[in-house]
Amino acid sequence: MTPVETPVTATAREVPESTTAAELLRRCEVLAGYSSMPDGLIERVYLSEEHRQVNALAAEWMQAAGMTTWQDAAGNQCGRLEGAVPGLPALLLGSHLDTVPAAGKYDGILGVLSAIAVVERINASGRELPFALEVVAFADEEGTRFGRALLGSRALAGTWDDAWWELHGEDGVSLRDAFTAWGLDPATIGDAARRPEELIGYLEAHIEQGPYLEDENKALGIVSSIAGARRFILTVTGKAGHSGTPYERRRDALAGAADAIIAIERLARSAQLIATVGHLQVFPDAVNVIPGKVEFSLDLRGEYDSERDRIWTVIQGLLDDICRQRRLRWDSVETHSAPAAVCSARLRGVIADGIRSTGDKRPMSLFSKAGHDAMAVAEITEIGMLFVRCEGGVSHNPEERVTEDDVAKTIDAFERAVLALAEQTDAPAPVGQTDAPAPAVQTEQGL
């Protein structure tokens, strides 16, 4: 009889108790308690008190894992474990700790905690790597407060736009004022930027925001690329009037917007792109008044930027036709644009090695329709991502679910990916930095 090959997993060897799947899930529960919403719902937005508290807690866990910690000039929480010699370029590991309103417990959070666990395991093993390891808990991937996603990772990538200082949240507070109130200095935002020569790559573990792994009965998958996204606020304007106005005399902005939304969905489905209208506001919003103006959002995503942009051109033509027929007018403001990001062959390869180490000999490759911090980091270094099965593909929802067994495989695969990369890497010369960067803001220790 041919012996069956049994994968050597971290659970088959002694690992720190703080790096087990059970402990990571416990930490997810702890972080879920830091929220601005009542009744057990989760919301943590950029530059809030909850943001400050989870950064401090993440710093404690990073320090316990053996890292030097600091909070950068954008409010990202960072930690570093030196390699074989101090000052080597770093492999970044991480994700985000901020959330959407009424969020789940794992989107972003599981990636940060997995990264900390991997660093702790490698530190505990005594193995010296030919690069440093850094963990970054990004501060604002979701864009919930100011309507602009990837602020933390854009700062790290050096692609911060000074026009963003004039963004305002629903509370009327500008990004600039929120920065100052939180203890950050807008004038030093450039200090958060990393140089390409300081890095050798970026790896991120994240729940899959889709059902494909579950459909194939697989715990983990390799991300091939991340969708390029463009977001718009569209305004359709007609004329408000009494609800008794005859149909032929109406200039109903809501009816026009409804036609547009259905046409956009039909077009995007036929083109195999993602188009989502997630926000709609009607003016004057009265039960017996024909709407005179409607504002709605459009989130347009595609694997290839050229096809996504071509469909946006077609959508504009559709809106022209609809508004002409209904005697309306429309305009748009683009609020976000991010190019598609392709994961490097080298990092896809080490992630595949990691997944195979857990027993899956034919890892599945997936295109990510959701955006991630890796998109911003791709501006300065190569990226790779590991997807984790999520029950039903549900995300951005309190019903997010992962299993302890899948989380255990995530940590094992992520660790093996880092070690596989180390085996392929010759130790480069230090970049002239023997310690972690000086903190722009001292991280609070304790809560």
Residue 396 among known ligand-binding residues: yes
Residue 142 among known ligand-binding residues: yes
Q: Report which of 111, 281, 65 is spatially closest to residue 206, judged by C-alpha positions.
A: 111
Tell me the DSSP string of 308-346: HHHHHHHHHHHHHHHHHHHT-EEEEEEEEEE--EEPPHH
Cβ 330 vs Cβ 294: under 8 Å: no
Residue 231 among known ligand-binding residues: yes
- CA distance linking residue 178 with residue 195, whole number of Å: 27
Q: Where are the beta strands (DSSP E) in 21-89?
A: 68-71, 77-81
Residue 76 among known ligand-binding residues: no
Residue 13 among known ligand-binding residues: no
Contact partners, residue 74, CB within 8 Å, separation at least 6: 139, 151, 152, 155, 156, 160, 184, 189, 192
Q: Report which of 63, 40, 35, 37 is spatially closest to residue 51, judged by C-alpha positions.
A: 35
**Could you check whether the bond before residue 246 is cis, i.e. omega within 30 degrees of 0?**
no
Q: Report which of 379, 374, 433, 442 is spatially closest to residue 72, judged by C-alpha positions.
A: 442
- CA distance linking residue 160 with residue 137, whole number of Å: 17
Dihedral angle of Cα 41, 45, 47, 48, to the nearest 10 degrees: -20
Residue 206 among known ligand-binding residues: yes
Which residue reads 């939304």 in tokens? 261
- CA distance linking residue 152 with residue 164, whole number of Å: 12
Residue 321 among known ligand-binding residues: no
- CA distance linking residue 304 with residue 289, whole number of Å: 42
How many H-runs (helices) and E-runs (strands) does the chain carry? Answer: 11, 16
Q: Are strands 220-226 and 289-290 parallel, antiparallel or unpaired?
A: unpaired
- CA distance linking residue 293 with residue 285, whole number of Å: 9
- CA distance linking residue 79 with residue 112, whole number of Å: 11
Residue 305 among known ligand-binding residues: no
Binding-site residues for Zn(2+), in ranges, read 96, 107, 142, 206, 396
Binding-site residues, in ranges, read 96, 107, 142, 206, 231, 288, 301, 396
Binding-site residues for allantoate, in ranges, read 231, 288, 301
